[in-house]
Structure 1
Amino acid sequence: MNAQAAALREYLESILGFRTKLTRIKLDVPFSVQEAFYLFKLEINVPGTTTPLIMLAALQREDDYPGIVALRKRLAVIEKATDWVVVYISNAISLVERRSLIDNHINFIAIRKQFFVPELAMDLREAFSVRKKKVLEESEFSPATQAMFIQLLFDESAFKPDALYTAEKLMGSYKYSRVTLSRAIAELRESGLLTLISEKDFSTRLYKLKYSRSKTFGKALKMLRSPVKKRVWVNKIPPLNNGICYAGDTALAEYTLLAPGSKPVFAMTQKVFSAMVKDHEFEEVAHIDSAKATVEIWRYRSPKAFTHIVDEVSLYLTLKDDKDERVQLALSELKEENTWMAFGD
């Protein structure tokens, strides 16, 4: 381990309070990218959990900052070659350069100066909750677990008495790493909603949902949370592609008789949002008067993203605390259309 990597490990352990592990890895990326970075698998071991938080640390070999354009291109190549969250690491990032990285939504760690990894923020927040020993009657699902679980809710056949699932089948349309999938299955089993039927190796184990569809939804409600990380205003209407969906009152109007607001609402993940900004599809604006639309940045891709309207369960979670009576009436109508959701009343 070189001096920079050792400094990174020391810095992370000092600010997080968790043991970390750095392992040098190789990726199938162009030589120019290999020359620019030392690549490490970074594991953050959280007390009380069975699997570590994992990200890929792209450690800048030279102290000279390459510029935001060149950096984005190199990191994009790395992101295509791994399932892990990619974080740019450098020992020499100026204040101006750090602001540029934040504005361009790039995960980065300036050693001994700043930790900016919004894609892991929720996981780390949960980790600190473990460290502080906050005792909750019910623990919230991680974003990956929630997305996979909601996808199962829309599979009516999953609740038939003879329905059995392998790990891959539970994952459905998502493309999780084995670590993420293992964690999601562990969370569903710990919640009491999923039962292991057959003890085999990981890929051939068989699982079964314990309860009916409505009872499963009702028991899971305390573990489900709004998928919205933040809301921003943008200066153009986003195109309905690449996992972008109608959300908020716009989506609710698609499902019910609610009249939509004057500015449409869209949902997308941070990765999609960053790519759209990078490709100049739209820009974030500071004032609603300059906005053409609202974008909700979600913690996961909706299981119904292919329809370009967010799924009913995630939509309910985003709006259930809305004080507008019209919205609450529309949510009641939404649950009437999906009777198994009425358990939450």
Structure 2
Amino acid sequence: MLSRLTDSEKTLLASAASYVEHVLQTPLIVDGPAASAKLPAFLTQRYVLVDGEILGRPCILMLGTGLHDDTPATIAKHRDLLRRQSRGRAVILVTERLSNHNRHRLISQHVPFIVPGNQLFVPELGADLREHFRSERDTPGDGLTPTAQLIVLAALMGRIGPETTPSELASQFRYSAMSMSRAITELEAFELAETEVAGRFRHLRFTVPREALWSRARPHLRTPVRKRRRVRRPPQGLALPLAGETALAEKTDLSFPRVETRAMAASEWKALATRYELDQPVSWDEPVIELETWTYDPLLLGDDKLVDTISLYLSLPDSTDDRIEAAKDALLRQVGL
């Protein structure tokens, strides 16, 4: 029984379960001690073997609290032996610490490991993780969530560095660290970025060239526009950047439309509508605008005058007007895409 574990082994196991849930946003289920009757004695003496499950995938956790003298090659041999005796199960080393040198050696030998609070390397679960995060969407064909799309666009625009963390992104874009962590996991599941856990922080990297990132992300990007409304013109001075065909005309040679279009965050619509009675019927002689409410704040990537170019491109619906389609193509050329 797991009750026979020492206090240090119980702490290591609990820390591993907590760490997996924090990083992968899915629980590490501990089922009990692994069957060990057919295993060599040196394996059961050196490791505590625990049956577990991640994303419905059975696994065996090799808890090692005294592996400081073992080389990565030795650990790899032990893990391979256990895997041959436990076909169909992922075999994962769990230890309280690893030196940088040993970590790289284990990675080079494809040995999965968990160092709670510090490092996690389980490539065998990569496909399972992608399916897991895709299945969390409302429908299988859905694209990126607004937060994940925001990060991709920021990367394409050079607004974030080549390496960043959820906390840094949360501070920059005024989201919670948890929301950013989920978005980063989503980007990794879609193979748009890579992550690595180092120390207490999870690092995000975009490793492909900008044009390749756009090509890879484009099928998953969606219009940021949640709804369009004809409303009375709000007072001057509000931070409502130009959007839609108005912004397209501002950025290209297209003629300006008769009705001006502006954008705002959907989360701010109710307060603005109540304050300025924008949701009330409009008289025939009142000046109106078309107001787009967006899934993310257009001011995060644009400014109070114009929405950003890439979001503008995504927000414009397909048109039968060749002039509009040509202007949209010009937008992408402006930003080198």
- Normalising by structure 2, we get a TM-score of 0.55
For the pair 1:297 / 2:293, whether they are aligned, the reply is yes
For the pair 1:274 / 2:270, whether they are aligned, the reply is yes
Q: Report the CA distance shift for 1:132/1:309 in structure 2 as closer, same or farther (over 3 A).
A: closer
For the pair 1:196 / 2:164, whether they are aligned, the reply is no
Larger Rg: 2
Distance (Å, rounded) in 2 between the aligned partners of 1:169 and 1:132: 25
Aligned to 1:222: 219
The superposition leaves residues 246-301 of structure 1 with CA deviations (integer Å, 9 ceiling, x where unpaired) of 11011111211111101100111223222222212644547998661100111111
1:217 counterpart SS class: helix
- Report sequence identity in percent: 27
Aligned to 1:311: 308
- Aligned match for 1:143, one of 140, 146, 153: 146
1:245 counterpart SS class: coil
Contact 2:310–2:332 (CA under 8 A) maintained in structure 1: no
Aligned to 1:184: 183
Q: Report the CA distance shift for 1:255/1:226 in structure 2 as closer, same or farther (over 3 A).
A: same
Distance (Å, rounded) in 2 between the aligned partners of 1:143 and 1:288: 36
Distance (Å, rounded) in 1 between the aligned partners of 2:237 and 2:266: 16
Q: Report the CA distance shift for 1:240/1:251 in structure 2 as closer, same or farther (over 3 A).
A: farther
Distance (Å, rounded) in 2 between the aligned partners of 1:288 and 1:226: 31
Q: Report the CA distance shift for 1:288/1:259 in structure 2 as closer, same or farther (over 3 A).
A: farther
Aligned to 1:85: none
The 5 Å alignment of 1:1-345 reads 50=25, 130=135, 135-136=140-141, 139-155=142-158, 158=161, 163-171=162-170, 173-201=172-200, 204-237=201-234, 239-242=236-239, 244-280=240-276, 282-285=278-281, 292-302=288-298, 303-339=300-336, 341=337
The root-mean-square deviation of aligned C-alpha atoms, in Å, is 3.1
Distance (Å, rounded) in 2 between the aligned partners of 1:328 and 1:289: 33
1:277 counterpart SS class: helix
1:173 counterpart SS class: helix
Aligned to 1:83: none
1:218 counterpart SS class: helix
Distance (Å, rounded) in 1 between the aligned partners of 2:190 and 2:277: 41
Unpaired segments of 5 or more residues in structure 2? Answer: 1-23, 27-133
Distance (Å, rounded) in 2 between the aligned partners of 1:272 and 1:247: 17
Unpaired segments of 5 or more residues in structure 1? Answer: 1-48, 52-128
Deviation at residue 214 of structure 1 after TM alignment: 0.9
Q: Report the CA distance shift for 1:222/1:165 in structure 2 as closer, same or farther (over 3 A).
A: same
2:195 counterpart SS class: strand
Deviation at residue 148 of structure 1 after TM alignment: 2.4
Contact 2:163–2:205 (CA under 8 A) maintained in structure 1: yes
Q: Report the CA distance shift for 1:284/1:330 in structure 2 as closer, same or farther (over 3 A).
A: farther
Distance (Å, rounded) in 2 between the aligned partners of 1:268 and 1:212: 31
The superposition leaves residues 160-200 of structure 1 with CA deviations (integer Å, 9 ceiling, x where unpaired) of xxx32222334463111122111111111111111124433
Contact 2:170–2:176 (CA under 8 A) maintained in structure 1: no
Q: Report the CA distance shift for 1:288/1:156 in structure 2 as closer, same or farther (over 3 A).
A: same
The aligned amino acid for 1:155 is G
